[in-house]
Amino acid sequence: MSDTFEKVSEVIVEVLKVDASEVKEDSRFVEDLKADSMDQFFLIDGFCEKFDLNINDEDARSIKTVADAVKYIDTHKK
């Protein structure tokens, strides 16, 4: 597993209060991890803070799975 996945997983566990074993690359934030719209906001905020990047609203809407988040971060991190 990538370092990015591990850090993304840490944010997800902290924000959604789920067990780390529930977080898989193909996990969907809403359907699988039961994130609501506020949770999604806090997830994006957490990713921005953890990886020191900005995710605009349009890009944030396209991040629907853990893999989407990892891929986005890997291509945009400084």
Catalytic residues: 36
**CB distance 8 to 66 below 8 Å:** yes
DSSP for 5-54 reads: HHHHHHHHHHHH---GGG--TT-BTTTTT---HHHHHHHHHHHHHHHT--
